[in-house]
Structure 1
Amino acid sequence: MSQRTHEHQDELARRIDRYSNKDGVHSTEIPSLFLIRESVVTEPIFRVNEPSFCIVLQGQKEVLLGQDRFRYGPGSYIVATVDLPVSGQVIQASSHTPYLALKLEFTSSEILEVLNHSDFPARPRKTARRAMFVSQADPSLLDAVVRLARLLEDHSEDIPLLAPLYKKEILYKVLKGPHGIALEQATMEGSHTYRIRDVIKYIMNHADQNFRIGELASLANMSPASLHRHFKEVTAMSPIQFQKQLRLQEARRLLISQSTDAADVAFQVGYESPSQFSREYSRMFGLPPREDIKRLRGMDQ
């Protein structure tokens, strides 16, 4: 690690530690920028990961997408190019050395704006790429992240003007990086990843409804076999597995937030059989619905 890289990582860790005096995800004055701190190893957290860039400065985290495992630690970053149901777990953290990370959410229009003002060489768009990747931040990328973070303390009055510029610079550096083609494909109309992104949006908006693969294939202008292949290349799951993840995540959210019977929740999220729901819930979360929610509520007390 170069001296410059070490200094950048150390400064970012100090700033995150300063602005996040308790565990959790903290919003900032900069829209779409979040600071994350965890002082203990966490339980797996199941959620939909929106398009985002997240860089770790201290500790380690592991994210599970389908059967793919992504582990990242100090100086590495993870990017999700589309909405993805994942589970994430902080695997290295302590009260003395907490897990510290900075997350920057982005939209496809922001990526397109960077691409339209850049002179990238033509890159293949046909082969779909996984919509999540981990890479190591180089000094120039870290420098842009540091300048963005400094706005929180040193130049808050400059945020409206400079924050969007630094954000574009960060996205530009990621696009130039070794996995930038995956981010580009998710925003370029006509690419396989772009068409799969439309299918993902449809499934997310109709997760409680049954669908036929032929319907999704027509939406993507693909054959059913091609849709299945490309969907799995992008998400590490089949369309049915993707929908199941969404349904079970929503079911768990409803069970935690409401005093609702598991069978009622099963029907709400689209299951026709409560017993099938209970089996799949147990497979994903490790316990049947009632026992899992009792355990989670006990942890919050």
Structure 2
Amino acid sequence: MSEIIPKQQNELAEMIKRYAENDGVHATAIPSLFFIRDSNASVPRHGVYKPSFCLVVQGAKEVWLGQERFKYNPADYLIASVNLPVTAQVTEASPDVPYLGFKLEFTANQILEVLRDSEMRVGPKENAKRGMFVSRLELPLVDAVIRLARLLDNPKDIPILAPLFTKEILYRVLQGQHGARLEQVAIEGSSARQIKDVIEHITNNYDKSFRIEELAEKVNMSVSSLHRHFKEVTAMSPIQFQKELRLQEARRLLLTESADATEVAFRVGYESPSQFSREYSRMFGFPPRQDIMRLKA
């Protein structure tokens, strides 16, 4: 961990081990802060990243967005600036040295608040950039992260200090190498902000069909501009984005409820069970029934 002294790394690792004794994703007493633990390198896992700041404290991880791979380890941090369906995989972990992760979710309004309160010079509106990036971790940012995590040992301080330390973390990211990408998502009228609004609409209505012309009109963009900027931010088209959301929700429903594949297909918005089965197999490698039996086993 080139930028962090071992003492800081060890303190954060020990804290995560204490609050995440078992493998899995663990919510903490600090709103929007999660600790992750994995004792083994994992198979690829599908999910939706909300806007979040992610650290690997121990081990290594890679995240696929469309066909693009983002690798990061304890020397880096990863930012998802909008909701993004991804495939993530822990690549370095063992029972003796488990993978340990730190994830802090945030909103565009929190970014705006930092920009406003810090009087940071906001750059001009730019064309939208990829909604995910990896940057090198620097000491001032690590200090803010550790101060936030320490609050878990002093719960009475959380309501007052957690928002301040979260704001500092976002401030440090905005000052970093790719800070302008995060800034653009919050700026009213920027193409990144318009695409964020389209993403939120699709996310909230993933089970309903849409016309691309209506989405473009909703955010005051041309159809061609919407397509171009959406693909730049998400690495996929609006239709592909919706399909990933539908299939991930379908898999969740099949795992947690006793519904059959046809019922689930209709619930997530498919009109053809055979098309659902075909696209499910393409994404997860197995037909629905076989995939769920395999996962439960």
Q: If the TM-score is normalised by the length of the shorter chain, which range does it land in?
A: over 0.9
Instruction: String of CA shifts for 1:226-272, please: whole Å, max 9, x gaps.
Output: 10000001111100000000110111111112222212211221112
Q: 2:43 & 2:74 partners in 1: Cα distance? A: 20
Q: 1:84 & 1:106 partners in 2: Cα distance? A: 14
Unaligned runs of 5+ in 1: none
Paired residues of 2:80 and 2:132 also in contact (CA < 8 A): yes
Q: 1:3 & 1:91 partners in 2: Cα distance? A: 21
Partner of 1:213: 212
Deviates more, 1:4-13 or 1:85-94: 4-13
Shift of 1:163: 1.4
Q: 2:204 & 2:231 partners in 1: Cα distance? A: 19
**1:176 equivalenced with 2:175 (yes/no):** yes
Partner of 1:255: 254
Q: 2:86 & 2:3 partners in 1: Cα distance? A: 35
Instruction: String of CA shifts for 1:95-130, please: whole Å, max 9, x gaps.
Output: 011001111111111111101012323423221011
Q: Quick one: which amino acid aligns to residue 169 of structure 1?
A: E
Unaligned runs of 5+ in 2: none
Deviates more, 1:119-128 or 1:108-117: 119-128
Paired residues of 1:41 and 1:91 also in contact (CA < 8 A): yes
Moved over 4 A (4+): 1-4
Paired residues of 2:23 and 2:36 also in contact (CA < 8 A): yes
Shift of 1:2: 5.7
Shift of 1:88: 1.1
**1:199 equivalenced with 2:207 (yes/no):** no
**1:68 equivalenced with 2:68 (yes/no):** yes
Q: Quick one: which amino acid aligns to residue 126 of structure 1?
A: E
Q: 1:285 & 1:140 partners in 2: Cα distance? A: 40
Aligned residues with identical type, % of pairs? 61
Q: 1:265 & 1:2 partners in 2: Cα distance? A: 48
Secondary structure (helix, strand or coil) at the match of 1:186 reads helix
In the alignment of these two chains, the number of paired residues is 297
Q: 1:170 & 1:107 partners in 2: Cα distance? A: 13
Paired residues of 1:80 and 1:132 also in contact (CA < 8 A): yes
TM score, norm. by length of structure 2:
0.96
Paired residues of 2:284 and 2:291 also in contact (CA < 8 A): yes
Partner of 1:264: 263
Paired residues of 1:61 and 1:92 also in contact (CA < 8 A): yes
Partner of 2:222: 223
Q: 2:73 & 2:104 partners in 1: Cα distance? A: 17
Partner of 2:145: 145
Q: 1:68 & 1:286 partners in 2: Cα distance? A: 19
Q: 1:265 & 1:36 partners in 2: Cα distance? A: 29
Shift of 1:166: 0.8
Q: Quick one: which amino acid aligns to residue 263 of structure 1?
A: T
Partner of 1:107: 107
Q: 1:219 & 1:2 partners in 2: Cα distance? A: 46
Shift of 1:18: 2.0
